[in-house]
Amino acid sequence: MAIAVQAQTQPAAAARPARQALSVLIVSTLAFTVCFMVWMMFGVIGIPLRKALNLNATEFGLLTAMPVLTGSLVRVPLGIWTDRFGGRIVMTVLMAVTVPAIWLMAYATQYWHFLAIGLFVGLAGGAFSVGTPYVARWFPKSQQGFAMGVYGAGNSGAAVNKFVAPALVVAFGWSMVPQVYAAVMLGAVILFWLFSASDPSHLVPSNLSFREQLSALKDPTVLKYCQYYSIVFGGYVALSLWMVQYYVGEYGLDIRTAALLAACFSLPGGVLRAIGGWLSDRYGAHSVTWWVMWVSWICLFLLSYPQTDFSIVTVNGVKTFHIGLNVFAFTGLMFILGIAWAFGKASTFKYISDQYPGNIGAISGIVGLAGGLGGFVLPILFGALMDLTGIRSSAFMLMYGVVWVSLIWMYFTEVRRTPVMGVNAGMPQFQHAA
């Protein structure tokens, strides 16, 4: 009888951690989606604010990028605190402290008000460095790429923002957006606390110092992953913030139509990250990242070409031709780019879970910091280039050059497989990708 009871209790005990892991994954992904939605808020409400405050392109870029700055800078300490104290408490506190700042945004009236409050709202963007190690440690190594990919699908909060915020702006004005978002964030805090869990075995030993965790910054392999992530995540954030006003200016669309088309980039760039994690588990982080960079290179090359009219003298007189992407071709390329970057975001973190299993929090924080800083710097550079050249597609020209850097770096350190000065000697060797 005792043997029968023991046989029944063992499967139940084994199923409990699996259910707990699934609950943690679902509620963490929901929380991250809300955080990302709040983080991208200026991408939509910045359009009416630009008109009300009479901002140029550079000032608009700074406005949209300001929350990204703090969301990036806090990623390293948040990742380290997650390793030490656990993701449940760190995520709950992080989301809770953003609620007052989000609410106050509705009462801002001057440009500097929005910049200052945006810094506090931007803390929500640090949630990625909390949830990534928190979720990953609930799953075996063979499933960590998929689990982190599912969590990273919370990037689709950028698309949710493009569906929700324009409707609120049109119906009630821009000030209603932060009020609604503050209520949504408060609800997400309560749900996360109720349905998440903690496991003391997931914590990094307390004798590991802050300086020892940060020593990863000396690893050139980590710096390479920072470069990759500054494209696939930093570029994703920057273009998610930039695309609504790009559609409005380039194609003369209204804000709701522009936001809907911009979501064709943001939505696959978020929700398909889980597939990128599965592909990385199956085929390896290197193979996925290599093809992501080449697809990005092709798409950005086509997107870089500005609207052009030119005349040719023929035997029958002067003929004028026009070259440029119409709104459908442009949206199609952005859709493909969003898919590629969704896969690339997952594959970059698969590199991390493979090579740094005991220090995922700190490493993901460092790489996330680099990606977030890319998302901060790029919108400002987009605006500066447009003010300087008057060419909207100069944003894609800049991204095209950044992708070139990653392709060259990857070729010499992973594809060619020849010793390169400064490359980490412990880096795994990959098969040659022709």
At 7 the pLDDT is 44
Please answer whether residues 343 and 236 qualify as being in contact, where contact means their C-beta atoms are separated by less than 8 angstroms: no
> What sections of 56-175 are H helices per DSSP?
57-73, 75-85, 87-104, 111-121, 127-136, 141-152, 157-172
Average pLDDT over residues 160-169: 89
pLDDT (0 to 100) of residue 297 = 95
Instruction: Give me the pLDDT at residue 271, please.
Output: 74
- Given a contact cutoff of 8 angstroms between Cβ atoms, the answer to whether 362 and 290 are in contact is no
In the chain, where are the structural domains located? 20-200+210-415
| Cβ pair 203, 82 in contact under 8 A | no
Say yes or no to pLDDT of 188 above 90.
yes
> Could you tell me the pLDDT band of residue 421, with boundaries at 50, 70 and 90?
very low
Confidence class for position 314, pLDDT limits 50, 70, 90: confident
pLDDT at 205 over 80: no
> Which pLDDT belongs to residue 210?
60
What is the spatial distance between Cα 266 and Cα 164, in angstroms, rounded to a whole number? 14
Residue 10, pLDDT above cutoff 80: no
pLDDT of 386 strictly over 70? yes
Give Cα separations from 273 to 74, 114, 153, 299 (angstroms): 23, 31, 5, 19
217 or 294, which is more confident? 294
Q: What is the pLDDT of residue 209?
A: 59
Task: Give the residue from 34, 36, 44 showing the smallest Cα distance to 170.
Answer: 44
The residue with greater pLDDT, 202 or 97, is: 97
Model confidence pLDDT, tens digit, residues 254-287: 888 998 898 888 888 777 877 888 888 888 888 8
Task: Give the integer Cα–Cα distance in Å for 384 and 381.
Answer: 5
| 142 neighbors 281 (Cβ within 8 angstroms) | yes
Strand (E) or helix (H) holding 207: none
Helix ranges, 137-209 (H): 141-152, 157-172, 176-195
Which amino acid appears at position 272 of this protein?
L
Distances (CA, A) of 177 to 167, 181, 273, 318, 341: 9, 6, 27, 53, 28
Residue 98 confidence (pLDDT): 94
Least confident of 185-199, 231-245, 358-372: 358-372
* DSSP code of residue 414: I
**Average pLDDT of the segment spanning 236-259:** 89
Q: Where are the beta strands (DSSP E) in 217-352?
A: 308-314, 317-323
Q: Would the pLDDT of 40 be above 50?
A: yes
DSSP conformational letter for 411? I
| Listed range (9-18, 185-194, 295-304, 382-391) with the worst mean pLDDT | 9-18
Q: Give the mean model confidence (pLDDT) for residues 392-396.
A: 92
Average pLDDT, the chain: 83
**pLDDT above 80: residue 218:** no
How far the first Cα of the chain sits from its last, in Å, is 62
Average confidence (pLDDT) over 41-65 = 89
pLDDT higher than 90, residue 373: no
Q: Look up the CATH superfamily of 20-200+210-415.
A: MFS general substrate transporter like domains (1.20.1250.20)
Question: Structure pTM?
Answer: 0.75
The pLDDT score that the predictor gives to residue 363 is: 79
pLDDT score of 360 more than 60: yes
pLDDT at 181: 95
Q: Is the pLDDT of residue 13 over 50?
A: no
Give the pLDDT confidence score for residue 27 in this predicted structure. Answer: 93
Question: Sign of the CA dihedral 383, 385, 391, 397?
Answer: negative
- Of these ranges, 94-103, 139-148, 231-240, 317-326, the one predicted with the greatest mean pLDDT is 94-103
- State the pLDDT at residue 328: 93
Q: Are 107 and 158 in contact (CB under 8 A)?
A: no
State the Cα–Cα distance between residues 297 and 292, nearest whole angstrom: 9
Confidence of residue 245 (pLDDT cuts 50, 70, 90): confident
Tokens of 305: 């070409």
Residue 354 has pLDDT above 60, yes or no: yes
Cβ partners under 8 Å of residue 235, min gap 6: 341, 374, 375, 378, 399, 402
